[in-house]
Homo-oligomer: A and B are copies of this chain.
Amino acid sequence: MLTTHPFDDDKLHEECGVFGILNHPQAAAITALGLHALQHRGQEAAGIVSFDGDFHVEHTMGLVGDHFSTEAVISKLKGPAAIGHVRYATTGAAMMRNVQPLFAELEFGGFALAHNGNLTNAQSLRRQLVRRGCLFQSTTDTEVIVHLMALARGGSPVDRMIEAVRQVEGAFSLVAITPKQVIGVRDALGVRPLVLGKLGDSYIMASESCALDIVGADFVRDVEPGEMIVLDESGVHSMRPFQQQPRRLCIFEYIYFARPDSVIEGSSVYEARRRIGEELAIEAHVPADAIVPVPDSGVPAALGYATQSGIPFELGIIRNHYVGRTFIEPTDQIRHLGVKLKHNANRRVIEGKRVILVDDSIVRGTTSKKIVEMVRAAGAAEVHMRISSPPTAHPCFYGIDTPEQDKLLAHRFSVEEMREFIQADSLAFISFDGLYRAMGEPRRDPDALRYCDACFTGDYPIRLTDRDERDSIENLRPALRA
């Protein structure tokens, strides 16, 4: 199969985006628009739950705009409160029952929950809950939190939610809806982003500020790490269910995940990428004739690189806009043609030139290898690759879909071996210190880290209970498909 699908890119994938709004007569329509703006955080499924006395639930496999765009669907999602979710499903099988928000009837009434992140003790908690007789309908982490709420001793939804989130470990930016509230929570380290916005008299919570922009809402502030925000009729309430800890936002949000027009914890994503490109040009320059971004994610760093180096920025690789398509590859005759569904070399600006390609990351290395080959075939005199992140050598346990460690090129190989693998004339990654400099710090200080960079360093800031159990038990029964 030939595919133009972005998921087949050799990229890491964010697992989710969340959105919630209270007190707007068109809550579901606003939520649909917000999810559309967050579509880059998850393209395989989407869901919205609204409340108008009753709860209304709509899930879909596929893009937000393919389902939540019609009067017929939106008009079913009645009420002034709504939450929504976009999902990147990590399991191959698209499973409708895993689509969020998850809805359940608890003792106090209906409740729905949307989650961006990953729990690191979900399997351990799940085993305990199953042993107590809990029935699981989905294979998501998120359902663990719902069961913990159902079993909580506290009476009110807020009390139960506090009791529940205190038992879970991992990264979680949650948005929940109850008959009286919309609630947002970030884990104690704030690994995944969550922002608070305002649209007239309504309050909004969303994974990124671009989801506020799309509906013209004002950005109020980031939800703080470890903060729970409760929106209700009387306004915005801030609570602190967790002990204070230093913040550790995922640095990959700046490198690749977030939309360039989002601002996270005060920093513009676009500007961060541009600065990383500048640092790269300082650290790892070679003489060249053109700076060529690998579209589209490599563009801001390539602009930074070009500015710093003074070498012309050129669209030497053209992307086909009609992505998301899959074509059959009927025979070997076609396979060996090296069909270029997604990218094409812009031969005239490459031919005879020394080209520096700029990309954001190398995961398995397969795409990088093909792109170097394509650029060389288009006549480049030299092909240098510059990467705006350090080598991705460690899996993420906090909500990013990483391949098994053995498939990470940076885990298997040295940089020189990686260069050999992708057949570039040179290869360089941004250094740890360069990356932190681009983020406005003097260097990467292991004792005062503001970001989670575990995928580069293996320095995991949150306990990995499930992984550690798995490693320590020989006769472990087959892991649940969480």
Contact = CB atoms under 8 A, between A and B. Distances in A.
Contacts of A107: 130-131, 133
Contacts of A134: 133-135, 150
A261 interface: yes
B104 A137 contact: yes
A271 B348 contact: yes
A341 to B, nearest CB: 7
Nearest to A70: B328
A320 B36 contact: yes
B213 A65 contact: no
Interface string A254-294: 00000111010000101100000000000000000000000
Contacts of A64: 322, 325
A334 B39 contact: no
Given A313-B313, A339-B33, A348 B214 contact: no
A84 B327 CA distance: 16
Contacts of A334: 26, 29-30, 33, 215
A216 B339 CA distance: 7
A303 B314 contact: yes
Interface in A302-336: 303, 307, 312-315, 318, 320-331, 333-334
A199 to B, nearest CB: 8
B213 A340 contact: yes
A347 B214 CA distance: 13
A213 B344 contact: yes
A328 to B, nearest CB: 5
Stoichiometry, as copies per complex, reads 4
B32 A337 contact: no
Contacts of A270: 315, 318, 346, 348-349
A69 interface: yes
A355 to B, nearest CB: 15
Contacts of A349: 268, 270-271
Contact of A344 (B6, B26, B214, B321): B214
Contacts of A105: 130, 135-136, 480
B65 A4 contact: yes
Contacts of A150: 130, 133-135
A94 interface: no
Contacts of A69: 325-328
Contact of A215 (B71, B339, B348): B339
Interface in A23-43: 25-26, 29-30, 32-33, 36-37, 39-40, 43
A394 B193 CA distance: 50
A32 B33 CA distance: 33
Nearest to A314: B303
A106 interface: yes
A315 B339 contact: no
A104 B136 contact: yes
A279 B296 CA distance: 27
Most chain B CB within 10 A, of A96, A271, A328, A337, is at A328
B339 A71 contact: no
A74 interface: yes
Given A29-B330, A107-B133, A137-B137, 15 more contacts: A33-B341, A69-B326, A97-B97, A106-B135, A130-B150, A135-B150, A215-B339, A216-B340, A259-B318, A261-B344, A270-B318, A271-B348, A299-B315, A303-B313, A307-B312
Interface of A: 2, 4, 6, 25-26, 29-30, 32-33, 36-37, 39-40, 43, 63-66, 68-71, 74-75, 96-97, 104-107, 130-131, 133-137, 146-147, 150-152, 199, 210, 213-216, 259-261, 263, 268, 270-271, 296, 299-300, 303, 307, 312-315, 318, 320-331, 333-334, 337-341, 344-349, 480
Top 8 nearest A-B pairs by Cβ distance? Answer: A65-B325, A268-B348, A133-B151, A261-B318, A133-B150, A216-B337, A261-B346, A39-B322
27 contacts: A26-B331, A30-B334, A33-B334, A36-B341, A37-B320, A39-B322, A40-B321, A64-B322, A65-B325, A65-B327, A70-B328, A104-B136, A105-B136, A106-B135, A130-B150, A133-B150, A134-B135, A135-B146, A135-B147, A214-B340, A214-B344, A261-B344, A261-B347, A263-B347, A268-B349, A303-B313, A303-B315
